[in-house]
Amino acid sequence: LEMDSTYSEAHLFTGWACKQKELYDEAIAAYQRCWSLHKKPELLGWLGHAYALSGDRVQAQTLIEKMKDDSRRNYISPYSLAIIYLGLNEIDENF
C-alpha cells in the first residue's frame, strides 16, 4: 500500500487480515477502499461479511438487498450472498 495505494487487491487482502484479527472497523475501511477502486460485485460480499461480524446487521442486510437487486441485471455469485448470511449466522439463508 505504501508503494501503490490504488492497488485494490492490497486493500482486499488488508481487509481479510484485519477481519481475521477481529479488527472489523479496519476491515470495513479496507473493503470500502477496495470497492471504491474496483467495483467487483464479490467485494460487496466481503464488505457485508465484515459488517455482519462487526454487529452491524443493518448495513449487512442493506448490502444483501443491493446485491439481490443488482442480480436482476448482472450476475452475482451466490457465494457472495452466502458469506454475508454466514456472518449474520443465518444458516438457512446461507444454504
- The per-residue pLDDT for range 37-85, each reduced to its tens digit, is 989 888 999 999 999 999 999 999 999 999 999 999 999 999 999 999 9
Which letter does DSSP use for residue 3 in this model? S
Report DSSP state, residue 39: -
pLDDT at 94 over 80: no
Tell me the whole-structure pTM to 2 decimals. 0.91
Give the ranges where 1-95 is alpha helix by DSSP (H). 8-20, 24-37, 41-54, 57-70, 78-87, 91-94
Count other Cβ atoms within 10 Å, centred on residue 55.
11
CB atoms within 10 A of CB 1: 12
